[in-house]
Amino acid sequence: MENKTILLIIMSLYMIVLFFWGIYQGRKVKTGNDFAIAGRKLPGWVAALSERATGESSWALLGLPGAAYATGLLEVWTAIGCVMGILVAWIFLAPKLRDEAEKYDIDTFTDYIAKRHGEAGKWIRITSSITIVFFFFFYVGAQFLGGGKTLNTLFDINQNWAMIIVVVLVIPYTIYGGFRSVTYTDVIQAILMIITLIVAPIAAIIYLSNAPEDTIYAQSMGEALSRAGEQYSTLTKGTLLPPDAPLSQTLSNWFPNASDWIQGLGSGIVIAGAFSWFFGYLGGQPQLSMRFMAIRHPKEAKKARNIGVVWTIIAYTGALMIGWIGIAIFGPDGLTDQETVMPQVLTTVFPPVISGILITGVLAAIISTANSLLVLSAAELSENIIKPARKKKISDKQALFQSRVVTAILSVIALLLAFYSPSNLIYQIVGYVWAGIGSTFSIVILLTLFWKRFHGIPAVLTIVVGLTFTIVWISTGMDKVITARLLTFVVAGATAIISSYLIKKKEISHS
């Protein structure tokens, strides 16, 4: 049997199991609240595995290994930023968000912020929901793009058709079971993802040590990074100006140590840009915070924290190693698309049956995030935009039907955006979302939880300024100089603090 046929059979069996498991869980969904947040009755282990599967997506199995393949050791700073952000979120934010969700009886991420800041609840619902849905279109599109790349690499399927296939696999049980189906299917996917990120690096290291020298680029990760050049083997690569640039030479004439200062500043900016993923994890990613809010009991939150922390450290170590192993196998210029390094390594190292099982982990990551984002976006629109606009109150069944219809419509729009995305790099697309959503809402959530002076009007201003700044900064190309993930956090934070002091807080009514 041909390798591609074996891969196809394995992936098909996996998707069939996932589909029916999602449908089975969806049978328990009876109301809009069930669809949006599973009635806030998730066991801790389900919430933890679902949060990790959703948080990592095609980013950790395609984007991060691809970036490690393209830049070498420098990508360690990205991993450090992400891991530290995830640890802070699980240790300090998850228990508090769970308790707050129970206290205010919330249905959506925006619902929580609006109820905490009742004086501006209406405007918070409108601005937050529109901002989340706008950016999540691109995020979902990035997942579809990741699925398209994977299927294109494995089966030579046209990437556009491959993305359509991913949509067909994701949508049915997502529409039917909403948040509950998504979180319980995430459990299977998180387990498969972590197995892939453990087994693949170990087997690949053994493969490198035994492969004939003329068939690979290097026989170890260290040798590969060293041979690839200094830019791959340094943790401090970066400069604002080339040494031979006219401005560099002029400054060197004026200031003898100018070139060292310029290079040091450039390195600092590069490192800060990589580390800046940290800020998006501080409560600002709605699809992750919703998992914290859905945990059924405080004791379950502690169990979830331990699972989430261990999973994260193992996963990021494995993702980086796969990127560096890709350099050792193919060389720094051996792949046309850096983000295919994961499936390329797996198909090189393992026989078809095993590689098929592990590559399914890549699709698992993509699916777990795509369906989570779709459900959250649909809930935001249904509960915070469409529902308040209705003059008549609708029944639970009508609300559930409305959420399902909105989910289907959003999936089609996200697919169209994936076709015409301005960037073909998953890493870059996710980075944009991390700035516009993560860096902005992290400020809103942190100050809502920990600063009594912060209130409704500053919350609205922070959201509007964060969104606007991100779009302007990226569209003008300035993101290539200093990442919007860092500057949006700073600008949104300054906006929140200054406006909280300047604008008097009104009496809040929790509605």
Vertex 339: Cα angle to 466 and 365 (nearest 5): 70
Query: Which pLDDT band holds residue 262 (cuts at 50, 70, 90)?
Result: very low
Question: Is 295 domain-assigned?
Answer: yes
Question: Is 95 domain-assigned?
Answer: yes
What's the CATH code of the domain at 30?
Answer: 1.20.1730.10
| Model pLDDT, residue 237 | 62
* Other C-beta atoms lying within 10 Å of the C-beta of residue 488: 32
Query: Which pLDDT band holds residue 245 (cuts at 50, 70, 90)?
Result: very low
Question: Is 302 domain-assigned?
Answer: yes
| Model pLDDT, residue 140 | 80
Question: Is 431 domain-assigned?
Answer: no
Question: Is 449 domain-assigned?
Answer: no
Tokens of 122: 């209406």
Residue 257: is its pLDDT beyond 60? no
Q: How many domains does the chain divide into?
A: 1
Question: Is 459 domain-assigned?
Answer: no
Question: Is 90 domain-assigned?
Answer: yes
Task: Find the mean pLDDT for residues 398-418.
Answer: 85
DSSP character at residue 393: -
| Model pLDDT, residue 267 | 59
Residue 196: is its pLDDT beyond 80? yes
Query: Which pLDDT band holds residue 253 (cuts at 50, 70, 90)?
Result: low
Residue 425: is its pLDDT beyond 60? no
- Mean pLDDT of the residues in the chain: 84
Question: Is 436 domain-assigned?
Answer: no
Residue whose C-alpha is closest to residue 439's, from 81, 56, 53 = 81
Task: Find the mean pLDDT for residues 116-132.
Answer: 91
Residue 510: is its pLDDT beyond 50? no
The secondary structure of 138-155, three-state, reads: HHHHHHHHHHHHHHHHHH
Task: Give the range with max mean pLDDT: 133-147, 177-191, 316-330.
Answer: 316-330
Residue 424: is its pLDDT beyond 60? no
Q: In this predicted model, what pLDDT tens digit does every residue of 329-361 receive, in sequence order?
A: 999 999 988 888 998 999 899 988 888 788 776
Domain range for 96: 3-228+278-422
User: Which of 86-90, 424-428, 442-446 has the weakest average pLDDT?
Assistant: 424-428
Task: Find the mean pLDDT for residues 469-475.
Answer: 89
Prediction pTM value: 0.84
| Model pLDDT, residue 498 | 97
Q: In this predicted model, what pLDDT tens digit does every residue of 140-180 receive, in sequence order?
A: 877 777 777 777 777 778 878 888 887 887 788 888 989 99
Measured in residues, the chain has a length of 511
Q: Distance between CA 236 and CA 254 in Å, rounded?
A: 26
